Amino acid sequence: MASGIFAILDDIAALLDDVAMMSKVAAKKTAGILGDDLAVNAEKASGFASSREIPVLWAITKGSFLNKLIILPIAFLLSAFLPWAVTIILILGGLYLAYEGAEKIYEFFFPHAHAKESFVEEGLAESEILAIEKERVKSAIVTDFILSLEIVIIALGTVVEEPIGTQIMVVSIIAILATVGVYGIVALIVRMDEAGFKLIKRSKTETSFSRRLGIFLVQALPKVIKSLSVIGTIALILVSGGIFVHNVDFFHHFLPSWPSFLLEFAVGLAVGFICLGVVVIFQKLWRMAKRRKASA
């Protein structure tokens, strides 16, 4: 009897070791999207009144958990009954990530004119401020849904050959860590300036360490968000390139002498700009068709 219990415990320990190892691999595969998720949400959660930043971020976090509760069962059903669909979704997701990365690079060199939104503008009624917050939260949750879908599918792709129980444990761990980790770090980032202002206010001399640290935190916030955006863009290109290299035979055997990271970046960049070109051409044709229809 005792030997049977120890055998069961040994099997459980071995399973947990396998889950931990595969979770580590899945975390590495999804790190690029997590970086972009972090950058996007840090940007979307900033710009509110100080007292509203945490409530807004908490609303987005709850939406992110709901997204994953919707995505996870669908992903597991696909893996169980249509495993080939996981690869197709993975490649489609790679196209989206490559396009997004290329679009951000294009935007950097050829910026578009954006109307600057104000979320703490004086004179707005409380109902108007809450309406603006609601729209921002909704936009952030939609973006999170797309990124969460990619995180889940990429994580699932690393364990698609494993038993369904292992898949559920590994992918669920990644989904939970993604939400808690990303939004926990975002909370720290968006409160950097507030912490800096408090340190400046409490400092007793102009040259005190607390004042210098406070000034550093206030000045660092926009630079941190911008740096995360750049890192996230590079990561998007690498992740998308990795999807194509590891799932498309043509790319897998393309330029075998190149280092893997360089090949993945080159493939992701090339596919991204091809997708961007197709989208731009389609948009132009669509606008031309609308003008002709309007003038007819």
**What's the rounded mean pLDDT across residues 19-46?**
64
Q: Which amino acid is at 286?
A: W
Q: How far is CA 22 from CA 10, 209, 252, in A?
A: 18, 44, 22
Tell me the C-alpha distance between 146 and 100, whole Å: 12
pLDDT bucket at 187, cuts 50 / 70 / 90: confident
- Predicted pLDDT at 292: 85
**What's the rounded mean pLDDT across residues 256-265?**
85
- Predicted pLDDT at 20: 60
Positive or negative torsion for Cα 141, 147, 148, 149: positive
pLDDT bucket at 269, cuts 50 / 70 / 90: very high
- Predicted pLDDT at 24: 61
pTM of the model: 0.70
